[in-house]
Amino acid sequence: MKSEWPKLGVGVGLRTVHYEHVLNHIPEMDWFEIVSENFMDSGGRPRYILDKIREHYPIVMHGVSLSIGSADGLDQEYLERLKALIDEVDPQLVSDHLCFSNAGGDQLHDLLPLPHTDEAIRLVVKQVKQVQDFIERPIMLENVSSYFSFKHSEMPEWEFITTIAEEAGCGILLDINNIYVNAFNHKFDPLTFINAIPPHLVGQFHLAGHSDHDTYLFDTHVGPIIEDVWKLYQVALKRFGCVSTLIEWDSHIPPFQELQDEANRAKKLMNITLDNPYDQRRLDAHPS
Amino acid sequence: MTKEDSTPTLRDIQLAMRNAVRAGEHVDTHVNDHQWLSQHLETKSTDSPEKRLEIYRVGYFIRRNEALSVTYENIKKVLGQDAFSVLCYEYIVACGSKTYNLNAEGEDLPQFLKTHWLKEQYPYLPDLAQLEWLFQLTFDAPSYPALLPETAARYGDFLPLTLQPHVQLLKTNWPLLTLLNQETKETPHLTPLGRPCYILVHRDENHQPISREIEPNAFYLLKKSRSRSTLSEVCEAVLTDPEHLTHWFANWMQLGIFQNPSH
């Protein structure tokens, strides 16, 4: 369905601790990503802040509770609230995760991995089509980090996500840090993952920090992005081009300037790796 | 073929993972599910599948606990970190999470506290929890265009009164507002007021929840306004002197308590 996703440059996640700074200083930033659920059910201060921020920046919506792989099916009430927010915010991109987060009527508040089976592919493809039909937009699914695998998985993760994206007509939000984390946890070469993904499917990158727990890496979104993930990002830029990139930092969130520094590093890498496509993108957007 | 021998369905895997994630340390009813699930999991390390499942289980408790800590800041202050953690743990184990919205995580806590052992030492906890839950509702509720004095004048006695969704009311016998304003770090031992205290919760100009004590008749007037009665019906139901009424309504309109009826 999508081969041309908007090229937005580099953005950061909008977090409550930065609301005042962003509103008071309107810092230079290409775009902000919001967690959809933080605004779907709130008509108070969060929505007021979002409206103000939308006046200055493009917004991308990223969800954590769509539960696209849930065997229980999709939550229609959730979809209605999501669509209402999409219609109001008119985001540049809409995404969620390739996982499940509820089962048997219980919300688990996590991004739980799916077995890589044909059964899961059929279910997710059907549900992605339902979502896209309902919200009248394409979505992207993000590869999630995981800490175990299923013995009955029938294919590697890259084949699983590619098949779903191609059959459902959705995009892939490629989380570079999650590829790195899973490569360590499941002992595969991260380049194999990146090289297996068709470039036209990729609409966004995520970059984040993680924690080293010795026997496994934990996707905590804490701390700066590590050097190996930056290197992998450069590899991804070469393969996928000037893809919109998000810096995620969700625990022990630092002052906004620190996020800006990370975003600036990503912009610099875009320029170095792709011979100034970042500057070209800006010229395309604002021709003199 | 036994369940253990067959390829598990997606639904079976997800239900077993739900049970593994939700189970509390002292809940042993899910042990069989754990064992069944572990047979279908593998790790490329010396860590067992059970150890890796623990990552999700701990994350589940931490996320819900954090959400409760945000909503029930004052309950946490009264109980202290340790007792609050115990309360959260017991609540999380007893009550599954039915909503994706972590802000709504604590909806059942006021009810849960009514029969909780901590109530014996802190009999005001259910009311305090109810007040904090109302703060959460006030924070998240939508706002509609507010009733303006000129609109009210146009309708006269037939003005339909509807409260904004963010307006909440609570009647309690405990000095909760004093407790909220208390700076001390010591655990307060409250004594009942000996009279009901009527509390109005609404949003200030910065969209933050605030609370104030109001007079009993003012409380009943606002309560009656929930049923979209007209101004005259509300005033008839709560007999009070006109001077009070004029003052209250002017104040409430200034605070944006009512919705514009034409909305």
**According to CATH, what is the number of the domain B141-255?**
3.90.930
Using pLDDT thresholds of 50, 70 and 90, give the confidence band for residue A1: very low
Taken in order B94, B100, B106, B110, is the CA torsion positive or negative? negative
pLDDT tens string B189-214:
789 999 999 999 999 988 999 999 99
Helix (H) or strand (E) holding A67: none
Indicate whether A3 belongs to any domain.
no
Indicate whether A2 belongs to any domain.
no
* pLDDT at A286 exceeding the cut of 90: no
Segment B39-59 mean pLDDT:
94
Domain containing A117 — which CATH number? 3.20.20.150
Say how many CB pairs under 8 Å bridge A and B. Answer: 138
Indicate whether A117 belongs to any domain.
yes
Q: Report pLDDT for B91.
A: 96
Q: What range does the domain containing A39 cover?
A: 10-285
Nearest to B231, CA basis, from B261, B194, B262, B263: B261
Q: Report pLDDT for B34.
A: 75
> How many other β-carbons are positioned within 10 Å of the β-carbon of residue A43?
18
* pLDDT at B26 exceeding the cut of 90: no
Contact B75, B132 (CB under 8 A): yes
**Distance separating alpha carbons of residues A61 and A88, to the nearest angstrom:** 12
Decide which of B3 and A273 is more confident. A273
* pLDDT at B4 exceeding the cut of 80: no
Segment A278-286 mean pLDDT:
54
Using pLDDT thresholds of 50, 70 and 90, give the confidence band for residue B263: confident
* pLDDT at A106 exceeding the cut of 60: yes
Q: Report pLDDT for B5.
A: 55
Indicate whether A244 belongs to any domain.
yes
Average pLDDT across chain A, whole number: 93
**Distance separating alpha carbons of residues B14 and B8, to the nearest angstrom:** 10
**Distance separating alpha carbons of residues A230 and A222, to the nearest angstrom:** 15
Using pLDDT thresholds of 50, 70 and 90, give the confidence band for residue B40: very high
Residue of A nearest to B14 (CA): A103
Look at B98 and A107 and tell me if their CB atoms are within 8 Å: yes
pLDDT tens string A40-84:
988 888 999 999 999 999 999 999 999 999 999 999 999 999 999
* pLDDT at A131 exceeding the cut of 50: yes
> How many other β-carbons are positioned within 10 Å of the β-carbon of residue B67?
21
ipTM here: 0.93
Q: How many domains does chain A have?
A: 1
Q: How far is B159 from chain A (nearest CA, A)?
A: 25
Q: Report pLDDT for B32.
A: 60
**Which residues sit opposite A245 in a β-bridge?**
A10, A205
Q: What is the DSSP string of B16-32?
A: HHHHHHH--TT--TTHH
Average pLDDT across chain B, whole number: 89
What are the tokens at A128? 């992605």
Helix (H) or strand (E) holding A172: strand A171-175
Using pLDDT thresholds of 50, 70 and 90, give the confidence band for residue B27: very low
Q: Report pLDDT for B242.
A: 80
A44: nearest CB among B7, B15, B139: B139
What are the tokens at B237? 């139901």
**Distance separating alpha carbons of residues A177 and A171, to the nearest angstrom:** 18
Indicate whether A4 belongs to any domain.
no
Segment B174-178 mean pLDDT:
94
Taken in order A224, A227, A233, A237, is the CA torsion positive or negative? positive
Segment B122-137 mean pLDDT:
97
- Mutate one of B4, B5, B9, B14 to test the A interface: name it (highest A CB count within 10 A): B14
Look at B40 and A150 and tell me if their CB atoms are within 8 Å: yes
Say which residue the tokens 């899973």 belong to. Answer: A182
Chain A residues close to B99, C-beta within 8 Å: 107
